[in-house]
Amino acid sequence: MQKIKRDDEVVVIAGKDKGKRGTVKRVLKDERFVVSGVNMIKRHTKPNPMAGNQGGIVEREAPIHASNVAIFNQETGKADRVGFQVKDDGTKVRIYKSTQTQIDA
């Protein structure tokens, strides 16, 4: 089970976008996430008439490493760490470390 999943709200805790919040759009296999509105880059693309691409300078999100983001806790309004807890019925759930409340409630 992963600590941060797709559609989780995260806060950037290090780097040029420190303090920005966004939702995880994609989880990549090398411990990286694509977060909406964070780590924006300008991509210079060539026009490709076969694919219908106009070309020019396109602004898009670049992947950010998992160590630079933390999950956002709505209750406290701050970044938080993720822990795991095994329920009585044997299911494993994610919890916020600070409040011990379940994330996927």
State pLDDT tens for residues 39-86: 999 999 999 999 998 999 999 999 999 999 999 999 999 999 999 999
**In-domain check, residue 65:** yes
Residue 26 lies in a domain: yes
The answer as to whether 90 is a domain residue is no
Give the domain CATH number at 53. 2.30.30.30
pLDDT band at 105 (very low <50, low <70, confident <90, very high): low
Looking at residue 104, what is its pLDDT? 77
Q: How far is 53 from 32, CA to CA, in rounded Å?
A: 27
pLDDT digits (tens, 9 = 90+) for 85-103: 999 999 999 999 999 999 9
Residue 84 placed within a domain: no
Residue 1, pLDDT above cutoff 90? no
Structure confidence at residue 78 (pLDDT): 94
Flag whether 85 is in a domain: no
**Is the residue at 35 inside a domain?**
yes
The answer to the question of residue 70 being in a domain is yes
When divided into structural domains, the chain yields a total of: 1
Does 1 map to a domain? no
| Contacts (Cβ under 8 Å, ≥6 apart) of 93 | 84, 85, 86, 87, 102, 103, 104
Prediction pTM value = 0.85
